[in-house]
């Protein structure tokens, strides 16, 4: 059967040749170049509904919203099937799975052979970052999934504008994806950093198939960042506006399930009047040194691919506003009146639902109605607190970088590093505790350096070295902090109230970053001096505050021992500077 093609909108010879080559291999019935227009959205949405890929939701309650149910065996990122295919195995590092490029191309190439017969091959030109920004990168994703096209529309700036920005350049990421038959045996996510190429097979799940996000913006992005002298990070970006109207920008890395999206959209409490948080991004930051010697950040994405369960008006009122319209929901539960539901949403569970698998669900059932990793894909334009700078091509100047984790003990509420190098150390040794629900063994600290363990596209020791080298090059670097909202008392209760109250800690951070207030020096860094964090209106005694800000020397000695495990794993490339720094910190603590 011969292939038909929608009007080819580009004269770019590199792009045309590559699309032809891919079509020659995958042999689709039809090639469709996506232009990003509204007419295209309407047409493809209608097609997805007709094919049962999307289910329209109640148009009055959720205008423009649809539900997708993925294959039950395809609901999450697959780290064990994710590979960095650098030419040299050592370049991928002990933190990544590795396949030789020739082997990966052959293996996935065989799967791609003829895989789009009877299907449409969509060509999606997209930009990660604001259109026209010198910090942005262009990708082309070729896919046979209309769900991918509709999600990429929300998550990226895509279509004609991306082609215009690309013009005749050969500098674009080549992403190729096919769902195949969703057989987990044929599921592979392969990154070829030296070729700026991503091949993904056998999955329809977001993190594996929306190739701009984790694959390009983080794995390939981190590789490009090292080569070109910038940073691609798993960080939210937010602006903190003070009552005086001054806005300070911070970037923050937290491992999964530590509330990054909530923090990025936080609403300060009424007892803290005049303060406002503006979201620039909720997941990824690309940061470069600006002409003024500061570090400037953009959010490469244009939407939020957020975890649904646990999102409610208390945890994140702004996210609830984002999903009121024009949102694609994946694997949430469906109410009898065509609305969505998930565990811990505001409304109690109704008597009857259709669960994420499409089965009837009755209140009281032991099964979860929504999948724990069910998601919403919502345009950032829906966010009531979207920063006016979210589309700025220069990005925003970062005054502070924050590393956080979930730690019931040891790590204080907030700690400022002595300098950049010590800040890199705090990020490199970041850890988070597993919960009982996840492992059965509570309180096991899992290291997730800079929240990048699943996303760093090269050797993690080399990545730390890149961070250290960046410190030498930034004339006016951001100040670096560590935070922990999760300290518990003897009864296992969280001591710090969290959520919007975290703005109190942010205020201290920005005051310190601006060098407006002195800190209290400890052997391990600066912590708030008494009275420096405003506790008015909080149900928190001075003793409790002391408990969550104190440095407990024996606990820290044990922590340094625990950090050794990560240093050992990365021994080949672990910068000696970080090892020496740990010994210095230990020594200071002993004295």
**Where does this chain bind ligand OXD (CB under 6 A)?**
77, 207, 256, 283, 305
Query: Which residue number, 437 or 543, has a Cβ lying nearer to ligand OXD?
Result: 437
Judge contact between 318 and 276, C-beta under 8 A: no
- Residue of minimal CB distance from Mn ion? 283
Look up 34 and say whether it is catalytic: no
State phi, psi for 477 to the nearest 5 degrees: -70, 155
Alpha-carbon distance 85 to 200, whole Å?
Answer: 13
**Residue 235: closest CA among 401, 439, 419, 364:** 401
Residues that bind Mn ion (CB under 5 A): 283
Q: Tell me the three state secondary structure of residue 23.
A: helix
> Which partner from the list ligand OXD, Mn ion, none does 434 bind, CB cut-off 5 to 8 Å by kind?
none
Closest approach of ligand OXD to the CB of residue 302, in Å: 15
Those residues whose C-beta lies under 8 Å from the C-beta of residue 103, and which sit 6 or more positions away, are none
Cβ–Cβ under 8 Å, residues 295 and 473:
no
CB of 77: closest distance to ligand OXD in angstroms?
6
Nearer to Mn ion, 283 or 355 (CB): 283
125/306 with CB nearer Mn ion: 306
From the list ligand OXD, Mn ion, none, partner contacted by residue 144 (C-beta under 5 to 8 A by kind): none
Q: How many whole angstroms separate alpha carbon 484 and alpha carbon 162?
A: 40
Minimum Å distance from CB 332 to ligand OXD? 15
Q: What is the rounded CA–CA span in Å between residue 81 and residue 88?
A: 19
Q: CB under 5 to 8 A by kind: which of ligand OXD, Mn ion, none does 404 bind?
A: none
* Residue 51 near residue 146 (C-beta atoms within 8 A): yes
| Contacts of 465 by beta carbon, 8 Å cutoff, 6+ apart | 573, 575
Q: Residue 543 Cβ, how far from ligand OXD at the closest point, in Å?
A: 36
Task: Decide whether 177 or 504 has the Cβ nearer to ligand OXD.
Answer: 177
- List the alpha helices (DSSP H) in 178-271: 206-209, 221-228, 260-264
Q: Is the CB of residue 226 less than 8 Å from the CB of residue 237?
A: no
Task: Choose from ligand OXD, Mn ion, none: what does 522 bind? Cβ within 5-8 Å by kind.
Answer: none
Least distance between Mn ion and beta carbon 436 (Å) = 23
- Rounded to a whole number of angstroms, the minimum distance from the CB of residue 207 to ligand OXD is 5
Query: Rounded to the nearest whole angstrom, what is the least distance from the CB of residue 70 to ligand OXD in the complex?
Result: 14
Closer of 233 and 283 to Mn ion (Cβ) = 283
CA-wise closest residue to 231 among 512, 484, 452, 514: 452
Q: Collapsing DSSP states into helix, strand and coil, what is residue 317?
A: helix
Q: Which is nearer to Mn ion, 283 or 448 (CB)?
A: 283
Closest listed residue to residue 158, CA positions, set 215, 223, 211, 221: 211
Per partner kind, with CB cut-offs from 5 to 8 A, the member of Mn ion, ligand OXD, none near residue 207 is: ligand OXD
Nearer to ligand OXD by Cβ, of 78 and 529: the residue is 78
- Which of 190, 215, 258, 322 is the catalytic position? 258
Torsion of CA 493, 495, 499, 502, to 10 degrees: -160
Residues marked active site are found at 258
């Amino acid at each position: 059967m011969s292939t038909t093609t929608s009007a080819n909108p580009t004269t770019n010879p590199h792009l045309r040749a590559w699309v032809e080559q891919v079509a020659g291999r995958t042999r689709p019935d039809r090639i469709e170049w996506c232009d990003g227009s509204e007419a295209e959205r309407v047409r493809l949405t209608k097609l997805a509904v007709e094919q049962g890929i999307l289910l329209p939701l109640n148009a009055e309650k959720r205008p423009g919203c649809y539900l997708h149910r993925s294959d039950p065996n395809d609901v999450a990122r697959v780290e064990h099937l994710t590979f960095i295919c650098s030419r040299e195995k050592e370049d991928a590092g002990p933190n990544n799975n590795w396949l030789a490029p020739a082997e990966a191309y052959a293996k996935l190439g065989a799967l791609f052979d003829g895989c789009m017969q009877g299907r449409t091959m969509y060509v999606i030109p997209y930009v990660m970052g604001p259109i026209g920004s010198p910090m942005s990168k262009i990708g082309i994703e070729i896919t046979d999934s209309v769900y991918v096209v509709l999600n990429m529309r929300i998550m990226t700036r895509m279509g004609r504008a991306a082609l215009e920005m690309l013009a005749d350049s050969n500098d674009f990421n080549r992403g190729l994806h096919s769902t195949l038959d969703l057989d987990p045996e044929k599921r592979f996510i392969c990154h070829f950093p030296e070729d700026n190429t991503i091949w993904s097979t056998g999955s329809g799940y977001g993190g594996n198939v929306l190739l701009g996000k984790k694959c390009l913006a983080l794995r390939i992005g981190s590789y490009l960042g090292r080569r070109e002298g910038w940073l691609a990070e798993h960080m939210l970006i937010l602006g903190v506006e003070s009552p005086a109207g001054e806005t300070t920008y911070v970037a923050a890395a937290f491992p999964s399930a530590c509330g990054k999206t909530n923090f990025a959209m936080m609403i300060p409490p009424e007892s803290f009047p005049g303060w406002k948080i503006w979201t620039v991004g909720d997941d990824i930051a690309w940061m470069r040194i600006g002409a003024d010697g500061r570090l400037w950040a953009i959010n490469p994405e244009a939407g939020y691919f957020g975890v649904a369960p646990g999102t409610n008006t208390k945890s994140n009122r702004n996210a609830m506003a984002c999903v009121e319209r024009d949102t694609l929901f994946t694997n949430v539960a469906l109410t009898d009146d065509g609305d969505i539901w998930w565990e811990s949403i505001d409304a109690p569970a109704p008597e009857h639902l259709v669960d994420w698998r499409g089965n009837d669900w009755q209140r009281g059932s032991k099964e979860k109605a929504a999948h724990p990793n069910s998601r919403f894909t919502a345009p950032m334009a829906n966010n009531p607190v979207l920063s006016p700078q979210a589309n700025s091509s220069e990005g925003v100047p970062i005054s502070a970088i924050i590393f956080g984790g979930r730690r019931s003990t040891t790590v204080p509420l907030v700690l400022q590093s002595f300098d950049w190098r010590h800040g890199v150390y705090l990020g490199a040794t970041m850890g988070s505790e597993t919960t009982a629900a996840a492992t059965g063994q509570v309180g096991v600290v899992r290291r997730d350096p800079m929240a990048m363990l699943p996303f760093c596209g090269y050797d993690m020791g080399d990545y730390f070295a890149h961070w250290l080298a960046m410190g030498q090059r930034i004339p006016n670097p951001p100040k670096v902090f560590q935070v922990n909202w999760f300290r518990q008392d003897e009864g296992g209760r969280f001591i710090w109230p969290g959520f919007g109250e975290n703005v109190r800690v942010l205020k201290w951070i920005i005051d310190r970053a601006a060098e407006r207030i002195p800190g209290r020096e400890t052997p391990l860094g600066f912590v708030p001096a008494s009275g420096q964090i405003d506790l008015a209106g909080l149900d928190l005694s001075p003793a409790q505050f002391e408990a969550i800000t104190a440095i407990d020397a024996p606990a820290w000695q044990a922590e340094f021992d625990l950090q050794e495990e990560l240093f050992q794993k990365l021994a080949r490339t672990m910068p000696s500077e970080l090892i020496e720094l740990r010994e210095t910190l230990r020594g200071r603590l002993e004295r």
